[in-house]
Chain A
Amino acid sequence: MENILEVKDLNISFDTYAGKVQAIRGVNFNLKPGETLAIVGESGSGKSVTSRSIMRLLANNANIEKGEILFKGEDIVKKSEKEMRSIRGSEIAMIFQDPMTSLNPTQKIGKQIAEPILKHQNVSKKEAYERAEELLGLVGIPNPKKRMDQFPHQFSGGQRQRIVIAIALGCNPDILIADEPTTALDVTIQAQILELMKELQKKIKTSIIFITHDLGVVANVADRVAVMYAGKIVEVGSVDEVFYNPQHPYTWGLLSSMPTLETEGELYAIPGTPPDLLNPPKGDAFAPRSEYAMKIDTMEEPPFFKVSDTHYAATWLLHPDAPEVTPPAGIVERQKGYRARVLDVQPSEGLKEMSSQDAEDHLRQTDSELSPDEIATRKDKEGETVYHGSIL
């Protein structure tokens, strides 16, 4: 299938008092319609800058030094601010990390959801508000009619993130960029939001670029994964390839330093800290922290080596002349077929299978006017199964 987005040799620097910070140093990737690409990396690796450059939301001191961002074949880098305004929020939409600050506290949420629809689509105000109400229901906020007239502070964190999603989806965007959308949320709420995003993606067939540092979340949502380190993509592949057959020592380190529920003994830790991008190191940027570094890593930057048609990694270890190395123990086990044991939770009374429409943790449920019957009918309509366990 044709790519909806192609990023080619993107280089971005920031002017600072200390000098030029080379935040993005030659990033290439593409995005197919309907797929979810996760970009993982630590803070400062350039994942957020990459995504913001696609929306052209970079700070004033940022320079796109070179490269192209082709959206439906047209270069975003060359577009005027006016042209960008018609793309932003309509063809490419974004969800930010912090649902507390990305909503306007002084505007009713109905207005905030209707705004992009009114702006980008040729509809009447009434139609826009109807669509907004529909969206609010779609993202699992109960009683949308009433909630349209409320302010952000009347919603919990999870609900606010749902509203942000509703705003982003208002114009059926081709690409949805989600920058750490669940980092500020609790695990149970996070799980609901991820379910919701996956379900909505199926419905409206948008492509998602999902930016996160949480590998557990990546494993859950992504079709493909790009691992970023020091302003570069070091490994890219399908989610199974990257998690079960990782090739780059940095990916090995990341996967090994997260304990699974069965990890014992000392935890594998990547030594040192990421490099300073004021003066990016020569060669492989990860070499100073890697026990697998070879002499060539300090001299020349590794190109992408092909592992499979969809899997590439930028490490000299894949060069035919490189010596055989044994990855950390946890990685060897993954390659051999180790999988996390599915917890045999025996659901008891008071537990039901989570659905993306579970609006919120009941205790923070501010919408008490919805009777249990109403909730039940709403669920029935949507044909959801509610699990009732028998034990306890």
Chain B
Amino acid sequence: MEASSKNRKKILEVKNLKQYFNVGSDNEVKAIDDVSFDIYEGETLGLVGESGCGKTTTGRTIIRLYDPTDGEILFDGTRVHDLHGRKAQLEFRKNMQMIFQDPYASLNPRMKVRDIIAEGINIHGLANSEEEVDQRVEELLSLVGLNKDHASRYPHEFSGGQRQRIGIARALAVNPKMIIADEPISALDVSIQAQVVNLLMELQKEQNLTYLFIAHDLSMVKYISDRIAVMYFGKIVELAPAEDVYNRPLHPYTESLLSAIPLPDPEYERNRKRFTYTPREDNGEEEKMREIAPGHFVLCRESDVPKLQEKLEKYSMAHA
């Protein structure tokens, strides 16, 4: 995975992104505090963390729902927040789409499903006639596992899982290159979650989509992601291939998060230990992301590096 990623194209580069709210006032919030990462074309980057850690803000800033306080975001090599004029912005919005968490709140209750899905097609002028729009809507509905009769219905006539499929169809309508999925399955029932996850992965394979998958359900993130970034209070503390985050966690916060996942296995639950994480006190040494092993980045101090490498070796020995 690490080797192949070198040859792959970076579709999104986030550099030193900072997003502060209430700047200058007493209750200034550093929602994103100097975050950098890249996403390669065709991959899924999972972004996990607890509520309030800044993962949703990160997704929203990337898609330009917020203007960042500092830092830059490059999509396909162009700076997202420097795009001016209707045409350039439209082009960007066509390439990057979002799927929201709440399938109830994210669909306009007064629009028919056909119009919800067709809105993007019309705005971007992707169809020449109404018939073409209808045909495209039909295609999209069948792609996400609904049928064409559903086009004339309103959102309230659908279940949560079906609504999320409509949300996915809407995002796909403009043939995006990248989709930001903000907790797309959290509001769904267990048996429906698997359906939606399978759909997302199938679509990715067919259309070479790139996903930023934001979630707090760690076992699902592990399943869907190629690489995972763990966020803690506005900072990414660990970024590595999914396997490594789970099998070789290096940052103590990642370890504490892993130790808290409940698994459907009574024996495991009886035997596991849980850990709580308390950040170290600041001793003046600079903390930044350092590459401990190829592709495995950890937020740490210079003096931590030998210890972390030693730890990695212990993992290798334990796994062997």
Contact = CB atoms under 8 A, between A and B. Distances in A.
A and B pair up:
yes
Interface of A: 42-43, 186-192, 194-195, 213-220, 222, 239-240, 243-244, 253-255, 257-261, 263, 266-271, 273, 339-354, 358, 361-363, 387, 391-392
Contact of A188 (B269, B276, B315): B276
Interface in B109-126: none
A188 B275 CA distance: 9
16 contacts: A188-B257, A188-B277, A194-B262, A195-B274, A215-B190, A243-B264, A254-B191, A261-B222, A266-B201, A345-B275, A346-B255, A346-B315, A351-B256, A353-B275, A391-B311, A392-B252
B198 A267 contact: yes
B261 A346 contact: no
Contacts of B191: 42, 253-254, 257, 269-270
B203 interface: no
Contacts of A216: 219, 261-264, 269
A345 B267 contact: no
Contact of A267 (B51, B223, B249): B223
Contacts of A349: 252, 280
Secondary structure at the A interface, as helix, strand, loop or mixed, is loop
Interface of B: 50-51, 159, 161-162, 189-195, 197-198, 201, 216, 218-220, 222-223, 233, 246, 249, 252-253, 255-269, 271-280, 304, 307-308, 310-311, 314-315, 318
A259 B223 CA distance: 7
B246 A354 contact: no
A273 B159 contact: yes
B252 A243 contact: no
Nearest to B189: A42
B268 A191 contact: no
Contact of B272 (A214, A268, A342): A342
Nearest to B218: A187
Contacts of B274: 191, 195, 353-354
A347 B314 CA distance: 12
B249 A345 contact: yes
A240 B268 CA distance: 11
A187 B216 contact: yes
Given A188-B256, A348-B252, A349-B252, A358 B276 contact: yes
B260 A346 contact: no
B260 A351 contact: no
Contacts of A270: 191, 194-195
Contacts of A353: 273-276
Nearest to A243: B266
B293 to A, nearest CB: 15
Nearest to B51: A186
Given A186-B216, A342-B271, A346-B255, A257 B194 contact: yes
A271 B195 contact: yes
Nearest to B48: A187
Contacts of B273: 345, 353-354
Contact of A344 (B233, B263, B318): B318
Contacts of B277: 188, 350-351
Contacts of A259: 219-220, 222-223
Contacts of A192: 276
B136 to A, nearest CB: 26
B275 A258 contact: no
Contact of B161 (A213, A220, A273): A273
Given A339-B268, A392-B311, A273 B276 contact: no
Nearest to B223: A259
A188 B264 CA distance: 17
Contact of A340 (B252, B259, B268): B268
A257 B193 contact: yes
